Amino acid sequence: MVELSPVDVVRGIFARIRTEGERPIWISLADEERALARHILSQAFVFALRGIPLLYTHVLLASENDVDGSRQSGVARDLNRADVDLGELEATMADQRSRSARATAAIRQMLATRATSDAFDPSSAQRVRCEGSVVIVERTGKTSKARVLLNVSTEDATVDSVHVPALESVWMALRQ
């Protein structure tokens, strides 16, 4: 059995977890859409919160865990360090419906939004609160403000008249 530290978990493991009774089990392809939504939402948290976000290749690609590689080496962190074949990657990214292409597009969009506002400067002020299933991150920069609504539920929600789809985030620029 491979044990993971919190650092390993945060590094973007794209394993899908399902609960069977009270025991979480790793599953392969069940509920792919929800798994991808959760993965993208987890990265929305990273990009919305104060600090300098860390982005690993396998996070960007929403890669599967390299369980065999980790078992062979006996190193837990090797779970996220599989080699990437360039030809396979190019083919996967050419298919806009692929998990990797969709994850990369969503992450690029969040990064582009983040880059347009000094509210996301690593040291800008931050306020975090919850309203029901929605985590609200408010950021204030020298010249701009932003709000990110992150819905951690599998049900849609509304906050301040803004619709937040299940397992998604809504990014908004605010007037200062």
Q: Which of 25-34, 82-91, 94-103, 107-116 has the lowest mean pLDDT?
A: 25-34
Interval 115-167: pLDDT, tens: 999 999 999 999 999 999 999 999 999 999 999 999 999 899 999 999 999 99
CATH 2.60.40 boundaries in the chain: 117-176
Q: Over the Cα atoms of the chain, what is R_g?
A: 17
Separation between Cα atoms, residue 176 and residue 107, nearest integer Å: 26
Separation between Cα atoms, residue 14 and residue 1, nearest integer Å: 18
Separation between Cα atoms, residue 134 and residue 142, nearest integer Å: 26
pLDDT band for position 7 (cuts 50, 70, 90)? very low
Whether the predicted pLDDT of 176 surpasses 90: no
Q: Which two tokens stand for residue 65?
A: 């865990």
Separation between Cα atoms, residue 170 and residue 150, nearest integer Å: 7
Pick the CATH number of 117-176 from 3.40.50, 2.60.40, 1.10.540, 2.30.30: 2.60.40
